[in-house]
Structure 1
Amino acid sequence: MIYLDYQATTPLAPEAYEAMAPLLRDQFANPHSAHRLGRAAAAQVEVAREEIGRLLPGGGRLVFTSGATEALNIAIQGAPLGGIVTVATEHAAVLDTVEALRRRGRAVTLLPVGTDGLVDMEAAARHIDSTVSLVVTMLINNEIGVVQPVAALADLAHRAGALFLCDAVQGYGREPIPESCDMVAISAHKIHGPKGVGALWVRDGVAIEPLIHGGGQEQGLRSGTLSPALCAGFGVAARLMRERAEEDRVHVAALGALARHLFAGWTLNGSATQRYPGNLNLRKEGLDGARLLSYCRNIAFSLGSACASGSGRPSHVLRALGLSDSQARGSVRVGFGRYTQREELERAAEALNEAAAAQGGVAG
């Protein structure tokens, strides 16, 4: 099986697994217990917290969560009351949350994007005003890989007196996170860490209300017993992202250039320049992406966000770019990273091209 779905999740780093194993098997104490074993477990959590924070802006606190979806919900629902501005191509964890708040009476604005997937900055300047309390944008889009102008949007938010939340799930460790962010949501399993753990970084002085109440763990913002094993795996994964940053960057850039050559007959969705090279969203006119996925069963790729798979609806991200339903359904996402081999990408491209040709798909 060739794995080309790195935006959905990444393979667990062996080093992260080795860090987790003893905490699952032997060092099982509750990290919130006051006895010696509990304090030892808590120390492992704090080592991980510090390591994860090294790839985040300075002057803030890191709160562990069950994942990025919870982190985003805490930040959005816990932010001060007022209008919310976000982008039409955000992840469902943001769009569904702000929609729920809209139904309760909050003013919500979805900024449009251009055909390149980049946010319309003129629209942003018009809508981010003194009535807005929160602006939310992802750093790297999970479906099309474009890198949004987060720093510029954060500046607009601050001029209006609003907070800025960055969904850095796809960008953490891969793209610098601007220092001007007020809150940042991240997830372990997108950086070769374990599933089931994420974090919300909150700038010092930013006050948000907790979403979950209970024992007051995680500085009173996220109650519940932490898993030292998951936190430790997250911490090791973060350390590797930092230590291997240049090696990973060169490897992914080379694979990205190769993929653009191998899929030369396809049309790239989203900006060709302002993008993360390990995420290619490609389309062919007349192609049925679902049929392609079914036919190429030995290749793990996707038709868009894993969270929306099986819905039968065209991608809201691709529709926001102006693509028709047919074009959106004829699009596939190919994602690769640290453990992808050149030969794997070549074999996958050959199979996908052959299958697309058999369907009669032509370049869009």
Structure 2
Amino acid sequence: MTTGCGTSWPGPPTGPEDEPSPNTVDDQGGWAERLAEAVTAADAPDTVFALSRHGRRTVVTGGTGPSPGRPRDRLRYEIGSATKAYTGLLLAHLVDSGRLTGGEPAAALLGGRRPPGPTPVTLAHLVTHTAGLPPLPADFYPRALPAWRTNPYGRYPDARVVDAFLRHRPRPRPGTRWRYSNFGVAVLGHALGAATGTDWHDLLADHLLDPLDLQDTASHPADADGLDAVGHGKDGTGTLPAFDAGGFRSAGAVRATPHDLLTFLEAHLDPDRCPPLTGALRAVRTPVLRRGLGHRHVHTVAWFRHPTDGGPLYFHSGATLGQQAFLGFRPDTGTALAAVCTRRFRAGDPFVSTAYALLAEQH
């Protein structure tokens, strides 16, 4: 039983995994078979597909590699860019609680000396990828190249992210064009820290992880205690070091167990269960940006939002050098899905598309 406003769940067997049979917490409607098929299709050393429907969970694990020494659903997985869903919720909470408005100019918060232009980059621009920033700073690539296959982000620390932002002249004008940017959300994390006097890591813990009782979620690797899943390359062989997000923590540093990921998603399905975050959890469902032909692409401050026959589907995916993740939820069906695997994505990879289809087909 959780002690915060997360959802309680019946724990899986505590003994060794019986691979390749699925480790099923609670099957419902034959979902274990479909999730097991998705695990097989992922073709990764370690894979978990975890489904929650009206608070009941079905969790299936498997993989092409040997057992990691503890149940795969009890390992923490790197979720890469899906971290942005946490940072978006954090900003929404700080706005909902009156600490910020979202309209604060980021450069002013970060000590910029350049006179602000007619349209300064705000926190809202950064979280919605409309700040006029590229995906990564211009000098990121030459610094990262020597460690491109092992630790590229770790070579670009906090101070360089902030300095690159303060030197950059946004193009196009902020608020006029959507362009997905790890750079922008990284700057947002540093700006939130500057605005509150609290590092993003501690903001995350104090305002999200503790209230949601996410005890198995962190923004840094464990210290060789076996908690973290080990990433692999595209072919599923050859282990990779734990991901170091460097100065981009707020854009990609979160790692969590599948059960913690489901708890995070279940809070979005039922915001009233967590009074400290109710307003923010509702806010991150609200469309704030529409783009593309016919404005078909809809975004909130934390999620991509797609239509289904029954209602909107919210999702975010992510990847590090050796792991992948998909997070999504549908309020109309009371369903959430968290999928993780320990293999780098490759051309024609079915992992994300399979996870998305499983969530979209819910009725």
Length-normalised TM-score, structure 2:
0.29
Bigger-Rg structure (1/2)? 1
